[in-house]
Structure formats: C-alpha cells, structure tokens
Amino acid sequence: MIRLAANLSLLFTELPFMARFEAAANAGFTAVETQFPYAWPAARQAQALERLQLEQVLINLPAGNWEAGERGIACDPSRVAEFRQGVELALEYARVLNCPRLNCLAGVPPAGVSREVATATFTANLAYAAGRLAQAGRELLIEPINNHDIPGFLLTDMAQAVAIVQEVGAQNLRVQYDLYHRERMGEAISADLPRHRALIGHIQIADVPGRHEPGSGAMDWDALFALIEACGYQGWVSAEYLPAAETAAGLGWIERYGLRRAARE
C-alpha cells in the first residue's frame, strides 16, 4: 500500500508554516516532510507533531541562502566548513523531530569551479555527512534535480546519482527519487524505478508540466502508482507539488487514483 506524506513547504502555503501541521492532519495525512525547518524552533514543531500524531519523515540539510537563489552548497569547495556546520544543525533538528532521513542538495557549481572539482567536493561532503548521520542512526539522501528548473544543477540524472552512491560506499546513503524531476529530464521511470529500487530511500511526486497535483498534467499516474507498488517500494511517497489552487480543494486526486491519505482513515 502506498503511504502518502504531505510536503509542508509546498502544500498548505495559504497558511502560516506552523498552522500547516494541523491542516495536513485535518486533511487525513499522518506524515509530513519539510524542505527547510530551520526558521522555526524544533521543539515547537515536535510539539505539533506529537499533538497531531504526525510523523516527520524527511528534512533537507541547510542549502545556503534559499531566498537569494542558492540551491545547495555541498558542491562548493569554499564552503565545506559551512556545510559541516549545517550537518550538525540538521542532526539536532532530526533528533528533536525524530526524523529518520535527511536530503542533501548538491547545488550549482560556483563560477570558476569545474564540474569535476564540484563533484569531488560533493562526494567528499557526502562521505562526511553519511558518517555523521550513521552515528545518529539516520539515512542520507541525494536528489537528482532537472536542469530546466535549476539550470546548472550538479546532480541531474540517476546514472550520476548511482555512481556517486557507489563511490561513497556508505550503507546509509540512498537516492531521493522525484518523479517530476525524472520526467522533466526525459528519463524512463518505468525502467529506472524498478532497476534502482534498492537505492531509492524516498519518493516524491508532482505532475508535468506545471508541477501541480497528479492528474493535472500529462503523466500516467494510474500506471505510475501501480509501478511503485509492483516494485515493492515500502517507503513514503510525498506530495511535493505546487497546488493549482487552495491545497485542500485539490486533494481529490488521492481518491481518484484509489489511494489513501493515511492509516487513520
């Protein structure tokens, strides 16, 4: 059975962040993820999770100045110390939120840094982060992101991601597989998802084009949801899309595709 989670950074944004936990619970979700929870006290978020019986399933490592357009610092050789400080901050949030997995965004190589140097920096940072997370019993993820939405992003396809995971060689390093990004890159999801199932630690979904709700675009979600189940994936499938209108009004896709929002239903 597919287990759905709600991304609180993109869903329910008509509400202040701390109100989104209750909105997700009221909509029937039992699990949430957050891209960057660091602007709000971890203890306050943990209280909301406990009160509403929600599970925090994912957060991202700090990724630089997101508002200024930065999309990760893990590939920047001049910011290794900042990256390591971010790992420690993320681990503290993960501890308080009881969050088992953290995603690391590679970022865009800065001017003057070759992709070879950026990749080597990213790989070394992942080895460090995976070691620290392993000590805390957490899983580290990397996410290939399409280069249309983020031009110049270092990690764009599954072949790269698989090669990096194999080079780092950490047992707790896996791939965050976002069907939206894979479709935007023209990759064969029907072949890649089963082939790399053992390396996939988390799945996210949105439709193409527009990055809106499943069913709003051209992707065959009946087939995709069936594929996720058929390949034996047991993890969370997170709704990480941009609602076309008010979030709750657009959740009908869940029942339309024969899914359940939560175990409490």
Instruction: Give the residue numbers marked as catalytic.
Output: 143, 240
* CA dist 176 → 103, 181, 186 (Å): 7, 11, 17
Helical segments of 98-251, H only:
115-135, 158-168, 179-184, 189-195, 221-230
DSSP at 33: E
Helical segments of 12-141, H only:
17-26, 42-52, 80-97, 115-135
**What is d(CA 88, CA 97) in angstroms, rounded to the nearest whole number?**
14
Q: Does the bond joining 77 to the residue before it have cis omega, within 30 degrees of 0?
A: no
